[in-house]
Amino acid sequence: MLTRTSTQSLTEQLAGRFAERIRTRLLAPGARLPSVRECARQQGVSPHTVVAAYDQLLAQGLVEARRQRGFFVRDAIAAQAGPALSTVSPVASLAQPVAADASTLIRGMFHRPSDKPQPGMGVFPSDWLESPYVTAAVRRVTSSRALQDFSLQYGEPAGDGGLRRSLATKLATINVPAGPEQIVTTIGATQALDIVSRTLLRPGDPVMVEEPGWALEFARLEALGMRILPVPRKPDGPDLDVMERYCQAGDGHRPKLFVSVSVLHNPTGYSLTPGSAHRVLQLANRHDFHIVEDDTYSHLAPEHATRLCAMDGLQRTVYVSGFAKILAPNWRIGFLAASPDLVGRLLETRLLATLTTPSLFERALAWVIDQGQLRRHAERVRLRLDGARGRTVKLALASGCTLASEPAGLFGWVDTGVDTDALTQRMLDEGYLLAPGSLFHARRPPSTLMRINFATAQDATFWKVFQRVRAQL
């Protein structure tokens, strides 16, 4: 909070607060700062103090003033690059792909606004993941006589053979048919998604992505020069009518890829039904596009959940998953599984990017899987999450929110009744990072929705602050 006992003036404190959020991307490029009058009311200072603070931000080149509209965060990169080339196409009336700025949540992973539980975070609290077997696995690998041998040379091109055998066995339990030779390890699931895109797509290619969806995926595809075609996500799966319209576009405008989180979709928690999955695969075969299935939350889902890769047998599908959500985020171990015809091309792309992956952690992970430790750990986390989900839902409903989807998995999709972009900035003043609904849409429209993490939003104190701040909007 701003304080008159600080060695800095109120103007300097206020300017510094906004500057920090802009530099760490907690205020995204293009975001509108509160009006002078509104900011003065929120911070308990005079309008003169706010004007002086905004003047400092202008002088630092962090914001720009737009006549009769207010102050907006500058996009320094866009300003240097100049206007982008137009990508208008016959399907523009259906969707004009503009990537969401995912930096707010990404930066929030490294720049926590306070030590309070953060409802907008995308991972479990660290104490949920603590377990002696993680340390034991690394100790076992590093004490091996073979440590020096594999530390002084590159690992296997496709990743540690032992881990790929373990992964093949694990995939068989969810009916995804992939031998070790069809699996490539990656530096997290994010790199696996990037490898698929770089292998199957070229700049300008149309890509269907579920909406709402993970903001990083929108931003990543736009950075590669792809045209994003948002597909509304429904409780049973993607909106097939919208997909059909995209597929019926003229040559050169038909989608080349569909990116889907079939199970425990982020942010809604929806899971695909067999009937919807069958129709999606029919559409892919009829219109000749690939599907990449991001199964990041597989460890939280039942084994019998419907997966496109299981139904398709990895013919038109590519399976992607990782272990950052359930095990050790800093190990950065992910993987992909694909058909024998495609896996070689995917491996070539991976080799061009990183040559190899860290064998030490891959061998440690293989031991954790083979000993059954990962399975038991995941069971404990699921049970703990069930309790947290129930408590969080009660707190959210008691705070005047409604649930936009049936609560499941790690995330809840909650309607607050107010603009969550404005709510997010006000909650940052209180030390809480939220995930506003606009972040999960390609064009970032205003939204009253927000995504909450059931594991970190079960704090009654947060909901009391939430109610107070929401009432002020």
Within a domain: 146: yes
Looking at residues 390-408, what average pLDDT do you find? 97
Least confident stretch, 22-26, 82-86, 136-140, 161-165: 82-86
Query: Does one domain contain both 332 and 200?
Result: yes
- The dihedral formed by the CA atoms of 48, 49, 55 and 59, expressed in degrees to the nearest 10: 150
Instruction: Read off the tokens for 100.
Output: 């969401």
Which CATH number do you get for residue 302?
3.40.640.10
Which CATH number do you get for residue 393?
3.90.1150.10
Nearest to 193 by CA among 40, 52, 371, 350: 350
Instruction: Read off the tokens for 276.
Output: 């919807």
Contacts of 52 (CB under 8 A, 6+ apart): 11, 15
408, pLDDT greater than 70 = yes
Query: Does one domain contain both 327 and 340?
Result: yes
Q: Note the pLDDT of residue 189.
A: 94
How many independent structural domains does the chain possess? 3
Q: Note the pLDDT of residue 188.
A: 93
Inter-residue contact 466 to 148 (CB < 8 Å): no
Domain hosting 40: range is 10-81
Inter-residue contact 396 to 412 (CB < 8 Å): yes
Q: Note the pLDDT of residue 147.
A: 66
CA–CA gap between residue 323 and residue 334 (Å, rounded): 6
Q: Which of 337, 371, 405 is the last residue of a domain?
A: 371
Contacts of 96 (CB under 8 A, 6+ apart): 443
Half-sphere exposure of 293 (CA within 13 A, CB side): 30
Within a domain: 350: yes
316, pLDDT greater than 90 = yes
What contacts 24+ positions apart, CB below 8 Å, involve 74-81?
Answer: 74/29, 75/29, 75/30, 76/29, 77/29, 78/29
Within a domain: 96: no
Q: Report percent pLDDT > 90 for the chain.
A: 68
336: β partners: 184, 320
Total Cβ atoms within 10 A of residue 128: 17
280-298: pLDDT as tens digits:
999 999 999 999 999 999 9
Query: Does one domain contain both 160 and 216?
Result: yes
Strands 402-403 and 290-294: unpaired
Within a domain: 147: yes
Query: Does one domain contain both 211 and 286?
Result: yes
CA–CA gap between residue 12 and residue 77 (Å, rounded): 26
Cα 412 to chain centroid distance, Å, stands at: 14
The structure tokens 């490539």 sit at: 184
Dump the DSSP string for 104-138: HHHHHTTS-SSSS--TT-SS--HHHH--HHHHHHH
77, pLDDT greater than 50 = no
Inter-residue contact 290 to 316 (CB < 8 Å): yes
Which CATH number do you get for residue 22?
1.10.10.10
Residue 95 burial (C-beta neighbours within 10 Å; 0-12, 13-18, 19+): buried
Contacts of 92 (CB under 8 A, 6+ apart): none
Within a domain: 98: no
Q: Is the dihedral of CA 367, 370, 371, 374 positive or negative?
A: positive
